[in-house]
A and B are shown apart, each in its own frame.
Chain A
Amino acid sequence: MSLQSLDIKRRSATTTPPPGVRGEVVGDGVAKLIDTTQCIGCKACQVACMEWNDLRDEIGSNVGVYDNPADLTDQSWTVMRFSEYENTAGDLEWLIRKDGCMHCEDPGCLKACPSPGAIIQYHNGIVDFHQENCIGCGYCITGCPFDIPRLSDKDKKAYKCTLCSDRVAVGQEPACVKTCPTGAIVFGTKEDMKQHADGRIADLKSRGFDNAGLYDPGGVGGTHVMYVLHHADRPGLYNDLPKDPEISPMVAVWKGVAKPLGVAAMAFAALAGFFHYIRTGPNETDEEDERKAKEFMDE
């Protein structure tokens, strides 16, 4: 966590440039491509994530669907979400989506975070939480368009998928990629992953999935976790994957224009008071006022 990195692109709550003397990365950074059409829902990726990151969620109870655990938690950074979709031909399609941090190019969590260095974005596109700087306010949850970060009850810090930044830093692929038995999860440069996706999409289209496509939403500047979807025209089918995710306008104002304007206006108010005093001097009560008041009261 405290390993010095010279590859920082953006740092939360920081107004000066972060360390970044190294050149821009090639290939548009890294990306994880999740091919929902090849996923069999085995949850090996969830297990690999737990193992590598040394996490153990509490054993929950069955909530009537295959999702297990039922939601992302501070201990479960990725969760398979199962949807049963009856298509127009009346056939059942089992749409399984591996949910987790999308590693947005324009991360809402980082924009919202008030603590310097608690969230950082590397040049390769990975968005990482540095829990040692996390104050536990939960603003990252407020800022995230995908509802990903979770506050831990144990230490009140926010946690989410790191895209195995520690593995990637030493040239390995994320643990979930390593373990996926069907090759549904692949990892490489974003350019390569898009190329790989093109091949998959062409194949799907040839087999009747006319709307197959890549999920790399532009509203958040693109993501470093992308999906191949059979129904890219309707991402909502995949357990409410947002169609056009973006940083909420309310968060954008709160953490954007409001900050410099607010500070400037408050400074102006204080300075206006100061210079008013310099101009008019104090508003004093003199002997004359006291005399008149006494006369008035004694009348």
Chain B
Amino acid sequence: MNKATQPRMIQRYTTSQRINHWIIAITFVLLAVSGLALFHPSFYWMSNLLGGGVWTRILHPFIGVLMALCFFVFAARMFRHNFLTRADIEWMRHAPDMLNMKEERLPEQGRYNGGQKLLFFALIFLVLGLLLTGVVMWRSYFSHWFSIELIRLSSLLHALFAFLMICAIIVHIYAGIWVKGSIRAMTRGTVTPGWVWKHHRAWLRELRGTPTHDK
């Protein structure tokens, strides 16, 4: 498209939101890789990413705290966009249509669709769970405050929450790859009006009349 026919872009994320998102993303990858290294022996080689087993043990919890902090700031900023509505429940009921590219059968969605909101709340629960269980497991500073039974339970739950989080993020990343035009929302901050029209039409209705962002 030449410049004349280029559509007016719509701002989806601010610069600071994008920076925040990518700090979370980078720390998540470091955490997932180093955590998997300690979860299953077949992944132990991945402990090399942080400089070996000992460095993995030292750094993983600190990176975890950083991710949790950044995540909660991000979640707080996104919170008001993620209240569940009737249309979201309807979306969830029609999730197979979404996967089969029958998006026209779905109710119009706002800034976030039902699946995204579900992921949003799942991640809040999982990050909180990982933070709390992780603190209990953190031998250098905290474990001596807790009973052995609680440490065992936390170890099991930490693995479970991490497993669920990795699965959730696999879905999140895949959605970004599959729905073309989404990734630029997090790399450049903007999406095309056609993308909003197709995937978040109710949001486009909200935007109508308000000034859009030229780029």
Contacts and interface: CB of A to CB of B under 8 A. Distances in A.
Interface string A261-279: 0110110011001001100
Interface stretch (A26-34, A63-71, A285-293): A285-293
Interface in B125-162: 137, 139-140, 143, 148-149, 151-153, 155-156, 159-160
- 8 cross-chain pairs, A with B, having the tightest CB-CB distances, nearest first: A290-B194, A289-B194, A293-B197, A293-B193, A273-B174, A135-B53, A138-B139, A13-B41
A255 to B, nearest CB: 9
Most chain A CB inside 10 Å of its own CB: which residue of B42, B155, B166, B195: B155
Contacts of B41: 13-15, 114, 116
A209 to B, nearest CB: 32
A52 to B, nearest CB: 28
Contacts of B192: 285, 290, 293
Contacts of A259: 39-40
Interface stretch (A38-46, A188-196, A246-254): A246-254
B100 A250 contact: no
Contacts of A147: 148
Q: Describe B's contact surface by its main secondary structure.
A: helix
22 contacts: A135-B54, A135-B56, A136-B54, A137-B57, A138-B143, A156-B54, A248-B152, A258-B160, A263-B39, A263-B40, A263-B43, A273-B178, A280-B99, A283-B101, A283-B179, A285-B194, A288-B194, A289-B195, A290-B192, A292-B194, A293-B193, A296-B208
Interface residues of B, number: 56
Interface string B4-43: 0001100000000000000000000000000001111111
A157 to B, nearest CB: 9
Given A116-B44, A290-B192, A156 B155 contact: no
A202 to B, nearest CB: 37
Contact of A265 (B139, B143, B163): B163
A86 interface: no
Interface of A: 13-15, 114-116, 133, 135-139, 141-142, 147, 151, 156, 248, 250-251, 253-254, 258-260, 262-263, 265-266, 269-270, 273, 276-277, 280, 282-294, 296-297, 299
B170 interface: yes
B170 to A, nearest CB: 5
Nearest to A280: B101
Q: Describe A's contact surface by its main secondary structure.
A: helix
Contacts of A288: 194
Contacts of A265: 163, 167
B71 to A, nearest CB: 20
Most chain B CB inside 10 Å of its own CB: which residue of A14, A135, A287: A135
Contacts of A138: 139, 143
A114 B171 contact: no
Contacts of B174: 273, 276-277
B73 interface: no
A200 B49 CA distance: 56
A290 B39 CA distance: 47
A92 to B, nearest CB: 31
Contacts of A133: 53
A290 B193 contact: yes
A262 B165 CA distance: 12
B41 to A, nearest CB: 4
Contacts of B54: 135-136, 156
Contacts of A135: 47, 52-54, 56-57
